[in-house]
Amino acid sequence: MSIKMRDQLQANILDDETIDFAHYWQVFKRYAGRIILLAVLFTILVALIVMKMTPIYSATASLLIESQPANVTSIEEVYKSDTSRKDYMQTQYEIIQSRQVAARAVDELDLSNDPVFMPQSSGGLTIVKDVKKWVKSKIPFLPKQEKVELTETQKAEKRRQAAINKLMNSISVTLVNNTQVIEVTAVSDSADLAARIANTMGDVYVENYLQAKVDMTSKATSFLTESMEGLKDKLEEAERKLTAFYEDNQLVNLSGGVVGLAAEELEEYSDQLLKAQTTLKQNRTIYEQTQRNGADYSALARLPEVLNHANIQSVRRQLSEAQSRVSELSKVYGPKHPKMVAAQAEYDSVQDTLETQIRDLISSITTQYRSSQDKVANLQEEVANAKAEYRKLSGLENKRRALQREVDINQQLYNSMFTRLKETSEIGGFQSANARILDPAVAPNNPSAPNRTLLIGAAFVVSFGFGVFLAFVLEALNSGVRSVDDVEKKLGQRMLGLIPIIPQKRKENMELRAFFDSKYHQFSEAVRTLRTSLSLMNLEKQNQAILVTSSVPKEGKSTVSTNLAFALGQLDKTILIDADLRRPSIGKRFNVPAYQPGLSNLTMKTHSLDECLVHDEQSGIDLICAGSIPSNPQELLAGEGFNALITYLKKHYKYVVVDTAPTQAVSDAMVVSKACDSVIYVVRADSTSEKMIQNGLGRFLQVGHRVDGVVLNQVDLRRSDVSERYGGFYDQYGYNANEKAN
């Protein structure tokens, strides 16, 4: 792919993705009249409906919800609401909209019997009921429902429930942001009734809250009274058990230190026993040593307990002194010397005393050991008795405490309930509301709905927008061809020119010689443009045979061929041939008699060319009508006679214009195209479908003949998006029908 082709392809892609606002504007202009007509008619209809609508009035009452209700005593704990919670205001919001509040408001205002709030049903519904009854009677397989007759009470209750439902639907509650204010808005056909409903809803909400408090207080009183009776019985039973405990155990008061004294006594006995056991261990050791040494006084004297005894130590000092004196005297005197005898006698006496002292000490140790044994045994018995007494007293004390604790708990509950009952009885007559009317509703002077101006304006805007939307939908669904882009993109053909539509009355054909009329100069210039485009395409050809056809009838091919012949006739010698041998129209347009011989006569060689030629003095062209309508027109056109005729005419005329039958009706045009140099395909703007045109063009391709281009006929330049490109072009530069074309 070359760089040039690639750049061109990218440009085409970008061009396709670009939003064509000019195209949308042309679509809007094309449907503008119908869009405005739709908007105006719909707006008028809505205005008529709005004017007949019943005015609706709305009134608003403001409620201030107290965040902290007044408290007199602690009884508020029984029924107090936690107003500090975030959902408190939302809860009050829902309560105001509840069915209970609405029902009380209906009863207080007697709305079920209010003719304004609950009007009697009109007779219009009777027709509907009769129709439904008739339809049911004609359908026998439907189940039959027996009609139940209601009593007056049931009817009144049914009407009351209907009034409640209607009131709930006519009330709107709004919680003002970041405040404790709730607005209650009521709507009604009556301004006074709307104000009364809004104020009553606020009053009923406050009364409902107070009534709920009274009911809760009554329930609390009943509950406390019943609980008091049960607690009183429990308290009396606990007191009886405690009294029986004291009597059964012959106790006066265990809580006065009796258990403590028993514990102290047990502790004292335990200490004495511990000391006695220690002494016994010491005495046992000494006693066992004395028993092991028996009568050996020397061994006994060496015992630490004996040596360390004060009396023994004193006697031993005396014995040592006596022994010293004997030793000193023995050095001076003989054994029989009186002094020596006296000293020896003293020594023996002290020795005897020492032995006596040791013997007494050993006897004392034995006695002390026996006494310690007895003391330990006595103390062990005393400790066991003290422990038993302490355990007995502790068990009694624990049981007493349990009984006393039950009495105390029941006494506390009884006292608390008694206090709460007194508070409840005292507060029963006090009523503290959690809300008050901050701003009562006032009857409005002007209705809140319907907003006639807004509704009518909205109706116009919506209908206008819908009309624009509908226009674009119709444009998208339209498969016709109406612009140069459609010819090039949808059909893939060259645009030779477009012929503007000439306004005319219905069932009237366009003037034959409009091409020469100055008031149709725009039409004339369009035909001249077509002539120029066709001439530029065939510059190399001296003489040309031009075939003009279309997809279906009524597309204006005969008009195009006729006026094209007029335009070519101004340049050089031109002849127009009517080759539509099935439904010829050229002869009728030129007022040629029906008996005038024409193409079929020439082809069958029943007449000469001079007999078949008709000259138009005003335009200067010649024409050959269809002549006698044959039974086999296609075979006639496919024969050599027709081809020879065209060849002959091309030698004597510069331009030969051939008008043929539509391609979708018959195949005559394909047969004729073999003898022609150019094929012009006429398409009526915004009429023939794209698929049908493609089929017609494809048939020429099948026979191997190209189509030179498409002529877009009967284009409304005021509504078409090609008007800016073609319409008014000649007027803009001062061209008109009286000026000669170059």
pLDDT band at 565 (very low <50, low <70, confident <90, very high): very high
- pLDDT, tens digit, 9 for 90 and up, residues 74-132: 444 444 544 455 678 888 888 888 998 989 999 988 888 888 888 876 544 556 666 77
What is the structure's pLDDT at 731?
42
461: pLDDT strictly greater than 90: yes
pLDDT, one tens digit per residue, over 316-357 is: 677 777 777 777 777 777 777 777 777 777 777 777 776 676
> Which of 140-149, 270-279, 369-378, 463-472 has the highest average model confidence (pLDDT)?
463-472
Please tell me the least confidently modeled range out of 258-272, 503-517, 693-707.
Answer: 258-272
Specify the pLDDT at position 287: 64
Distance CA 452, CA 461 (A): 14
For the beta sheet containing 181-188, the strands, ordered from the edge strand earlier in sequence to the opposite edge, are 171-175, 181-188, 57-65, 435-439
Higher-pLDDT residue of 297 and 488 is 488
Its pTM stands at 0.48
* Res 225 pLDDT > 80: no
Average pLDDT over residues 149-158: 85
What pLDDT, on a 0 to 100 scale, did the predictor assign at position 736? Answer: 44
Predicted confidence band at 45 (pLDDT cuts at 50, 70, 90)? very high
Give the three-class secondary structure for 578: strand
Question: Residue 495's closest CA among 503, 485, 480?
Answer: 485
Q: Which pLDDT score is estimated for 72?
A: 42
**Are 518 and 736 in contact, with CB atoms under 8 Å apart?**
yes
List CB contacts of 566: < 8 A, sequence separation 6 or more: 513, 515, 516, 527, 619, 621
Helix (H), strand (E), coil (C) string for 30-48: HHHHHHHHHHHHHHHHHHH
pLDDT > 70? residue 473: yes
* pLDDT reading at 550 higher than 70: yes
Rounded to 10°, the helix 338-427/191-248 angle is 150
Asked if the model's pLDDT at residue 13 lies above 80, the reply is: no
Q: Is the pLDDT of residue 658 over 90?
A: yes
**Which residue has better confidence, 546 or 300?**
546
- In whole angstroms, give the CA distance from residue 431 to residue 211: 9
pLDDT of residue 360: 64
Arithmetic mean of pLDDT over the chain: 77
pLDDT at res. 622: 93
Q: What is the pLDDT of residue 359?
A: 64
pLDDT-derived band of residue 206, with 50, 70 and 90 as boundaries? Answer: confident
Predicted confidence (pLDDT) at residue 740 exceeds the cutoff of 50: no
Asked if residue 450 has a cis previous peptide bond (ω within 30° of 0), the answer is: yes
Can you tell me the mean pLDDT for 205-226?
A: 76
**What does each C-alpha distance from 500 to 435, 569, 718, 719 come to in angstroms?**
79, 21, 10, 11
Query: Considering only 333-342, 351-360, 457-466, 725-734, which range has the smallest mean pLDDT?
Result: 725-734
pLDDT tops 80 at residue 380: no
Tokens of 719: 């509504």
Poorest-pLDDT segment among 427-441, 461-475, 500-514 = 427-441
Give the per-residue pLDDT at 165. 92
**pLDDT-based confidence at residue 294 (cuts at 50, 70, 90):** low
Which three-class secondary structure string do you get for 385-414? HHHHHHHHHHHHHHHHHHHHHHHHHHHHHH
